[in-house]
Amino acid sequence: MSEYENLRTADIVAEALLDWKVDVIFGLPGDGINGFIEALRTRQNKIRFILVRHEESAAFMACAYAKYTGKLGACLATSGPSAIHLLNGLYDAKADNTPVIAITGTTYSDLMNSNYAQDVNLLQLYSDVTVYNDMISVPEQAKMAVDIACRTALA
């Protein structure tokens, strides 16, 4: 029996981040990441969520945090335009070879590829700025995806 067997995907991601010593995440809540926001709320004594006024700030703050602490930086945004706003800070991290992970939400699966306003192909969008880029589709994939993301960012 897996240690994560009875957890939701968001809980698995949060626990995996804790395993990688992520203790601060900068971001802005939204409907595509409400489950993860709840996972952070229930772990607020272990992971500090820093609420920002704009997603771009979240990515720049995660980059600065990583640069000045030597730890893995983490930022968070929901789907669509919110996730797009992380790009400037992520390019800063890329330019300086700074380890930052970005966690984003996505559009509900029944609205993907429907021209819905929030539906942005984030895998394609992030392909130039990331060293690892994946979408978690099932809970069983979550731990592995976070492990690869964190290991790759730190390498």
Q: pLDDT tier at 112 (50, 70, 90 boundaries)?
A: low
Amino acid letter, residue 37:
I
Domain boundaries, the chain: 9-107+115-154
pLDDT digits 0-9 by tens, 82-94: 888 999 999 999 9
| CA 121/CA 126 separation, integer angstroms | 9
What does pTM read for this prediction? 0.88
Please give the pLDDT value at position 119.
Answer: 67
Q: pLDDT tier at 1 (50, 70, 90 boundaries)?
A: very low
CA-closest candidate to residue 39, choices 13, 66, 16? 13
CA-closest candidate to residue 10, choices 130, 148, 136? 136
Please give the pLDDT value at position 80.
Answer: 80
| CA 83/CA 135 separation, integer angstroms | 13
Max CA pair span of the chain = 42
Count the residues in the chain: 155
CA-closest candidate to residue 71, choices 130, 129, 26? 26
| CA 48/CA 38 separation, integer angstroms | 12
pLDDT digits 0-9 by tens, 12-46: 999 999 999 999 999 999 888 899 999 999 999 99
In CATH terms, 9-107+115-154 corresponds, of 3.40.30.10, 3.40.50.850, 3.40.50.970, 3.40.50.1970, to 3.40.50.970
- Burial class from Cβ neighbours inside 10 Å (0-12, 13-18, 19+) for residue 155 reads exposed
